[in-house]
């Protein structure tokens, strides 16, 4: 580790002002913030970002999938791989102001600070805002970075039909963000993303900086249990084949197993349905989702296998039929150890405590990790709240995170 500090800091009030300004764009008359990908509101947010990129003296570029770039490079560096800072500015419905936006605007602020301080980077430094990270309007989520990293053809992504029946490519053209650059046109030297944690760990431990070393693998399944509907009053307990009760057993099994796991496994059942859904009828069918996550692929496979085994035992014991359907499966992502080390060193140099941690949520960084060394820096989220207007990170933490990003980027571009 060769990290050394610049004795330079970002312009905190300017960053906070930009976050608040972007957070005012795309609110409905009731005050709710919603900038779905390629919508009119997204256009307004993008226009503000482009204006700030130009105001910072950077070169603006847009690729075919609508990813926006602000590039700082000398004419001699045109073919050099840039250090890329990125995240997204699209939002969920009724969003907070930090998710994604903080990372993009802090990236812009870092480049501006370095430029204003007369720093001479050895390679280009750029900031990216990737299209449709949230995946609310078009599937899949993290689409812009996935296409940029070559994991999905731009043509296929542009043909995506939204929840409102719109076609992404047409919507990007309509709002003026169907760019001409080919996705992947700048292969990064390294990628760093600064993001709110969206979880409670840093706040609860009173640690301002998370050095994100990996990102959980995700296993999503839909489980369907078929029992027999019968009268709730006339069917003795031993004669029941109660699909709802069997579903409850699975939920408690998953909880007990995850809470006693030696790995940082998490398990969640977020959706459930009983049929026929009548107070006095034993459920004939229960359908529910299982979300398993683990930063280690072998451990995740072990959790999946344990669930399978339990379902087989349960089906025999309860006389029900159980089927599972795979909804999504992503392997864990391991971030670049050198960049993670730089994050820790930068925090230490600034007198900030840090913690190596796992990202429980998906981020553009996981796509970029396919094509270059990448890592994420986390700052605390109060109460872990996210995707919600109450999403909040204290201002000192926002500034501290951006300063750590500054140091890491300066080191990567030295």
Is 78 labelled as part of a ligand binding site?
A: no
Q: Any known ligand binding at 18?
A: no
Nearest approach in angstroms of CB 190 to a copy of itself is: 24
Shortest distance (Å) from residue 328 CB to a copy of itself:
9
Calpha distance 95→33 (Å, rounded): 5
Place of tokens 């072998």: 298
Of 187 and 326, which has the nearer Cβ to a copy of itself? 326
> How many C-beta atoms lie closer than 10 Å to residue 302's C-beta?
15
Known binder of ligand: residue 363? no
Smallest distance from a copy of itself to CB 167, Å:
25
Instruction: Give the 3-state DSSP-derived string for 4-51, with helices as H, strands as E and coil as C.
Output: CCCCCCCCHHHHHHHHHHHHHCCECCCCCECCCCCCHHHHHHHHHHHH
Residues of this chain that bind a copy of itself (CB under 8 A)? 197-201, 204, 216, 218, 220, 229-239, 242, 244-245, 247-249, 251-252, 255, 258-259, 261, 264-274, 277-283, 289, 291, 293, 327, 359-362, 384-388
Closest contact distance (angstroms) between CB of 235 and a copy of itself is: 6
Measured from the CB of residue 171, what is the shortest distance to a copy of itself in angstroms?
A: 24
Measured from the CB atom, the residue of 77 and 235 that comes closer to a copy of itself is 235
Nearer to a copy of itself, 160 or 216 (CB): 216
Tokens standing for 53?
A: 């990129």
Hunting for tokens 């603006």 — which residue is that? 60
Nearer to a copy of itself, 189 or 363 (CB): 363
Minimum Å gap between C-beta 174 and a copy of itself is 29
Whether 387 has a binding-site annotation, put simply, is yes
| Nearer CB in complex with a copy of itself: 272/338 | 272
Residue with smaller CB distance to a copy of itself, 77 or 388 = 388
Nearest to 379 by CA among 404, 411, 412, 348: 404
Determine the Cα–Cα distance for residues 276 and 284; give it in Å rounded to an integer. 7
- Give whichever of 80 and 261 is closer to a copy of itself, judged by the CB atom: 261
CB of 19: closest distance to a copy of itself in angstroms?
21
Enumerate residues 6+ apart whose C-beta is below 8 A from 164. Answer: 137
- Distance between CA atoms of residues 57 and 34, nearest Å: 29
Asked if 151 contacts 370 with a C-beta cutoff of 8 angstroms, the reply is: yes
Give the HSE-up count for residue 15: Cα atoms under 13 Å, Cβ half-sphere: 29
88 is in an annotated binding site: yes
Between CA 322 and CA 238 the distance in angstroms is 19
Tokens for 129, please give them. 């805002």
Residues that constitute the known binding site: 88, 99, 134, 195, 387
Residues that constitute the known binding site for Zn(2+): 88, 99, 134, 195, 387
């Amino acid at each position: 580790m060769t990290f050394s500090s610049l004795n330079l800091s970002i312009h905190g009030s300017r960053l906070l002002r930009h976050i608040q300004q972007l957070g005012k764009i795309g609110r409905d008359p009731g005050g709710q913030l919603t900038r779905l990908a390629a919508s009119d509101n997204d256009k307004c947010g993008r226009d503000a970002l482009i204006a700030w990129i130009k105001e910072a003296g950077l070169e603006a570029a847009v690729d075919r999938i609508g990813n926006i770039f602000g590039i700082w490079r000398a004419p001699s560096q045109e073919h050099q791989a840039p250090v890329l800072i990125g995240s997204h500015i699209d939002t969920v419905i009724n969003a907070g102001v930090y998710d994604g936006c903080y990372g993009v605007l802090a990236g812009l602020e870092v480049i501006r600070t370095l430029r204003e301080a007369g720093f001479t980077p050895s390679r280009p430094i750029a900031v990216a805002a990737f299209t449709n990270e949230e995946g609310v309007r078009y599937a899949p989520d993290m689409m812009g970075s996935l296409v940029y990293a070559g994991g999905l053809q731009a043509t296929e992504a542009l043909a995506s039909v939204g929840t409102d029946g719109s076609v992404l490519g047409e919507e990007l053209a309509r709002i003026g963000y169907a760019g001409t650059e080919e996705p992947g046109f700048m292969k990064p030297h390294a990628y760093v993303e600064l993001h709110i944690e969206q979880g409670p760990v840093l706040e609860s431990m009173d640690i301002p900086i998370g050095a994100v070393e990996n990102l959980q693998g995700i296993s999503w399944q839909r489980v369907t249990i078929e029992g027999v509907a019968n009268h709730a009053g006339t069917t003795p307990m031993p004669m029941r084949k109660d699909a709802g009760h069997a579903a409850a057993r699975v939920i408690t099994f998953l909880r007990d197993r995850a809470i006693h796991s030696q790995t940082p496994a998490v398990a969640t059942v977020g959706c459930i349905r009983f049929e026929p859904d009548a107070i006095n009828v034993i459920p004939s069918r229960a359908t529910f989702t299982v979300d398993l996550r683990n930063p280690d692929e072998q451990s995740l496979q072990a959790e999946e296998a344990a669930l399978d085994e339990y379902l087989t035992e349960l089906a025999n014991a309860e006389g029900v039929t159980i089927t599972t359907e795979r909804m999504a499966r992503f392997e864990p992502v391991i971030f670049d150890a050198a960049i993670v080390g730089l994050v820790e060193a930068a925090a230490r140099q600034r007198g900030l405590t840090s913690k190596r941690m796992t990202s429980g949520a998906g981020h553009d960084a996981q796509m970029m990790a396919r094509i270059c060394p990448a890592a994420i820096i986390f700052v605390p989220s109060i109460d872990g709240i996210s995707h919600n207007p109450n999403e909040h990170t204290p201002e000192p933490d926002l500034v501290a995170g951006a300063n750590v990003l500054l140091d890491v980027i300066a080191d990567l571009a030295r």
